């Protein structure tokens, strides 16, 4: 009988201990991680987990836009132990990224991309390293014609290969995803590697599939859990582990290209981005603030592909979709092209000014396609005032670009495909202040790193 009472007593003690532990953990979590005083409002955050399950991670931008309807253009969410602020609406986002851009110039430490990049590259980087690498990337890409007429021959050559792939289907239905990815990525390859790859090249096809997978996993719930509970998730299997292996394979591919370049490098004749970077490594040796080395080069090349190919390829696929959906708009575009360019030559960047309707359609495709629904996260390097709230130094900021591209106060018919959004009464193309498909402020000048 004594043993029975002893067992019951032990059970009661265990329940009390468990109850005390739970209460203590919840109290400690509230004391340490409750929403800061004066912080923007937001939905109730669960202890420990925060708002991870408040957001539909398959449609993050839609959830964030819906929450703005309840909590206002500036609100806060918690992911694990960390609080961040979401910005919505044209005025607030432009105030943050343009007017106070210097105060939000840094990137936050986001565990998964930082673990993958080892703090190198351009996209998820800050400070001196980021400034050096970004400045070099922009100047070098411009040197090789990025955004200039001098790149047109490369683009037109790739268009020829792409069109031939389309013709091979002889009018049968097909998914253009891989072909457009091949075409866009080959233009980047010409800048970075100095050559293109055949569409049938299995290694190259696998590389492009890897890039697609990286983008998908980075936006998944698994990635968000990894970012929130890094110490634990590093030892838990899942997609976040898969993306690490994929990225290592991508780095190995780039490293092989790098080694080939080193064997044939001629400092007096720079063929591409890798050649220029290798020369920069040599010239920067011995400098105290030098950030140029082969590991940074590999990560910068990876960033160029991830950021540059996906946005352009997505725009093309949305263009196919909208032109198929609205044949009457497609006919107007074709008629304008036939009138201005004709059938005897290829289009040129110089034709853009004479193709206002086509230009407007392309802009509306990017607006409705919502290519980059969220800007890359920013990080406050000082206290800032946004939307009537004081956001302290050291807070992650998420600009919700979806809220701008479909802002009812900025667009006449925000949820309807309407190229007239970008045409004035005379039928000429006009820019719109609320058209920020990738970012705003200093970053808008280069979509790759926004």
Are 429 and 423 contacting, i.e. CB atoms less than 8 angstroms apart? Answer: yes
C-alpha to C-alpha distance for 416 and 338, rounded to whole angstroms: 27
Tokens coding 365: 């495709």
User: Under DSSP, is residue 27 helix (H, G, I), strand (E, B) or coil?
Assistant: helix
Q: Where are the domains of the chain?
A: 1-33, 39-108+353-450, 110-325
* The two domains 39-108+353-450 and 110-325 share their CATH topology (first three levels equal): yes
Tokens coding 126: 């800050």
Are 219 and 372 contacting, i.e. CB atoms less than 8 angstroms apart? Answer: no
Per-residue pLDDT, 21: 64
Fold observed for domain 39-108+353-450: Cytochrome p450 (1.10.630)
- 106 φ/ψ sector (left φ>0, alpha ψ -120 to 50, else beta): beta
Are 422 and 360 contacting, i.e. CB atoms less than 8 angstroms apart? Answer: yes
C-alpha to C-alpha distance for 175 and 321, rounded to whole angstroms: 11
Are 64 and 402 contacting, i.e. CB atoms less than 8 angstroms apart? Answer: yes
331-350: per-residue pLDDT in tens?
999 999 999 999 899 999 89
Per-residue pLDDT, 415: 96
Are 291 and 135 contacting, i.e. CB atoms less than 8 angstroms apart? Answer: no
Per-residue pLDDT, 310: 84
Strands, E assignment, 147-226: none
How many residues are listed for the chain in this entry? Answer: 450
Per-residue pLDDT, 23: 67
Are 79 and 224 contacting, i.e. CB atoms less than 8 angstroms apart? Answer: yes
Q: Based on the number of CB atoms within 10 Å of its own CB, is 11 exposed (0-12), middle (13-18) or buried (19 or more)? A: exposed
74-88: per-residue pLDDT in tens?
999 999 889 999 999
For the chain, give the longest Cα–Cα distance.
Answer: 102
Per-residue pLDDT, 25: 58
Strand partners for 389: 386
Are 36 and 392 contacting, i.e. CB atoms less than 8 angstroms apart? Answer: yes
Superfamily of domain 110-325: Cytochrome P450 (1.10.630.10)
Digit-by-digit pLDDT tens for the chain (450 residues) are 556 545 455 555 656 666 656 665 556 555 556 788 889 999 998 888 889 889 888 889 999 999 999 999 999 999 988 999 999 999 999 999 999 988 998 899 889 999 999 889 998 888 888 889 999 999 998 988 877 777 899 999 999 999 999 999 998 999 999 999 999 999 999 999 999 999 999 999 999 999 889 988 888 889 888 998 998 899 999 998 999 999 999 999 999 999 999 999 988 889 999 999 999 999 988 888 899 999 999 999 999 998 888 889 999 999 999 999 999 999 999 999 999 999 899 999 899 999 999 999 999 999 999 999 999 999 999 999 999 999 999 999 999 999 999 999 999 999 999 999 999 999 999 999 999 988 775 554 444 444
C-alpha to C-alpha distance for 136 and 125, rounded to whole angstroms: 14
pTM > 0.85: yes or no: yes
User: Under DSSP, is residue 47 helix (H, G, I), strand (E, B) or coil?
Assistant: coil
Tokens coding 259: 């080694």
CA 146 to chain centre: 19
């Amino acid at each position: 009988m004594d043993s029975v009472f002893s067992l019951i007593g032990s059970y009661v003690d265990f329940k009390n201990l468990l109850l005390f532990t739970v209460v203590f953990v919840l109290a400690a979590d509230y004391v340490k991680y409750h929403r800061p005083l004066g912080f923007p409002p937001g939905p109730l955050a669960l202890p420990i987990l925060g708002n991870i399950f408040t957001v539909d991670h398959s449609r993050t931008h839609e959830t964030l836009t819906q929450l703005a309807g309840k909590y206002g253009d500036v609100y806060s969410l918690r992911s694990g132990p960390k609080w961040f602020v979401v910005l919505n609406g044209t005025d607030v986002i432009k105030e943050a990224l343009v007017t106070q851009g210097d105060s939000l110039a840094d990137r936050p430490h986001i565990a998964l991309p930082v673990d993958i990049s080892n703090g190198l590259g351009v996209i998820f980087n800050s400070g001196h390293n980021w400034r050096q690498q970004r400045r070099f990337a922009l100047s070098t890409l411009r040197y090789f014609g990025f955004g200039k007429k001098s790149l047109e021959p490369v683009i037109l050559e790739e268009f020829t290969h792409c069109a031939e792939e389309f013709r091979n289907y002889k009018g049968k239905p097909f998914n253009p995803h891989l072909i457009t990815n091949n075409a866009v990525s080959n233009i980047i390859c010409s800048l970075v590697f100095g050559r293109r790859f055949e569409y049938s090249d299995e290694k190259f096809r696998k590389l492009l599939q890897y890039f697609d997978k990286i983008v998908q996993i980075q936006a998944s719930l698994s990635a968000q859990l990894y970012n929130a509970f890094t110490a634990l998730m590093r030892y838990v299997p899942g997609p976040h582990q898969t993306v690490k292996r994929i990225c290592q394979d991508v780095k190995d591919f780039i490293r092989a290209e790098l080694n080939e370049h080193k064997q044939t490098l001629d400092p007096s004749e720079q063929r591409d981005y890798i050649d220029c970077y290798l020369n920069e490594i040599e010239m920067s040796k011995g400098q105290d603030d030098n950030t140029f080395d082969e590991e940074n080069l590999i990560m910068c090349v990876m960033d160029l592909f991830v950021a540059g190919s996906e946005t352009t390829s997505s725009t093309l696929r949305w263009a196919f979709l909208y032109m198929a959906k609205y044949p009457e708009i497609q006919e107007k575009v074709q008629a304008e092209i036939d009138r201005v360019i004709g059938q005897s030559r290829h289009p040129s960047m110089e034709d853009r000014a004479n193709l206002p309707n086509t230009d407007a359609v392309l802009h509306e495709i990017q607006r409705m396609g919502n290519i980059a629904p969220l800007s890359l996260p920013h990080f406050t390097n000082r206290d800032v005032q946004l939307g009537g709230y004081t956001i302290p130094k050291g807070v992650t900021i998420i600009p919700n670009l979806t809220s701008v591209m479909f802002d009812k106060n900025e667009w006449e018919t925000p949820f309807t495909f309407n190229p007239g959004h970008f045409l004035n009464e005379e039928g000429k193309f006009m820019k719109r202040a609320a058209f920020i498909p990738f970012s705003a402020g200093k970053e808008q000048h280069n979509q790759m790193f926004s």
